[in-house]
Amino acid sequence: MKLRRIEPVTSVVVVGLGNPLRRDDALGIAVAREVAARTGARTAGGPLRNLELLDQVAGVDRLIVVDATWTGVDAPGTVRRFDLDDQAGVEPRHGRHGLGIADALALGRRIGIAVPARTVAYTMEAVELSSWGEGLSEPVARALPGMVERILDEQFGPSTPRLPPAPRGSGQADRAADSAAREE
C-alpha cells in the first residue's frame, strides 16, 4: 500500500510547549513537529506565553497542546490527556508557561477572539525539567513515538492516511514545522 500525504488539516493547530535547550522540556516541540509532519496540521509553540497563543489559534476549530510535566508521581514517559474546554481556573494560574492555557482561551472568548471550540492537552512525565542541554532523556525519548501515535489515533482517527514517521536525523519534521511556520 502506497502512503500519500493527506490534505493539510488547517482547522487544527498543534502547540508544542517547551524549551529546546532544557532537555525533556523540548518534548512538546518534538511531538508537535512529528504530528504536523505526518498530518499537515499547523504547529505553534516553543517558549510561547499563553496570551501570545491567542494569535496562533484565532479562528481554529481544534487545539492540541503537548507539554512535558514533572509531578514526581508518575513514571517518566507516562502520558496523560486532559480536556481543557471547561478547565478555566482549574490549572495553575501561573505555571511554567505563564497564564494557564484554559484561562487564556477563556479570556480570548470574553474579548471576542474566535478561539478553538475544542482543546485537548497531552502531557508526558519527564525525568526532570531544570537541566540545560539538548536531547531528551532515555525514558522520554523511548516513549515519544507512542505519544505521537496516541495523538494521531485519538485526534485524527486510526484509519486516517498519514505519512510514515520521519527517519531520525532526516530533518523532515523540522522542515515541515519550519514550512508551516512560514505559512502562518
CB-CB contact of 29 with 147 (8 Å): no
Tell me how far CA of residue 40 lies from CA of 32, 68, 112, 124, in angstroms. Answer: 11, 23, 28, 23
Q: Can you read off the three cell numbers belonging to residue 168? A: 531520525
Q: Can you read off the three cell numbers belonging to residue 136? A: 531528551
* Torsion sign over Cα 126, 100, 59, 45: negative
What b/e string do you get for 15-45 counting C-beta neighbours within 10 Å, with b at 16 or more?
A: bbbbbbebbbbbbbbbbbbbbbbbbbbbbbb
- CA-closest candidate to residue 91, choices 99, 100, 83: 100
pTM: 0.75
Q: pLDDT value at position 4?
A: 39
Along the 184 residues of the chain, how does pLDDT read in single tens digits?
Answer: 444 344 444 589 999 988 889 899 999 999 999 999 988 888 887 666 667 788 888 888 999 999 999 998 999 999 999 988 765 544 444 445 456 788 888 888 899 998 898 899 999 999 988 889 899 999 999 999 999 999 999 999 876 655 565 555 444 444 433 433 333 3
Classify 101 in phi/psi space as left (phi over 0), alpha (psi -120 to 50) or beta: alpha
Which structural domains are found in the chain, ordered by start?
Answer: 12-157 (3.40.50.1450)
Q: pLDDT value at position 106?
A: 86
Q: pLDDT value at position 172?
A: 41
Q: H or E stretch including 39?
A: helix 27-39
The C-alpha atoms of residue 149 and residue 69 are separated, in whole angstroms, by 19
Q: pLDDT value at position 168?
A: 52
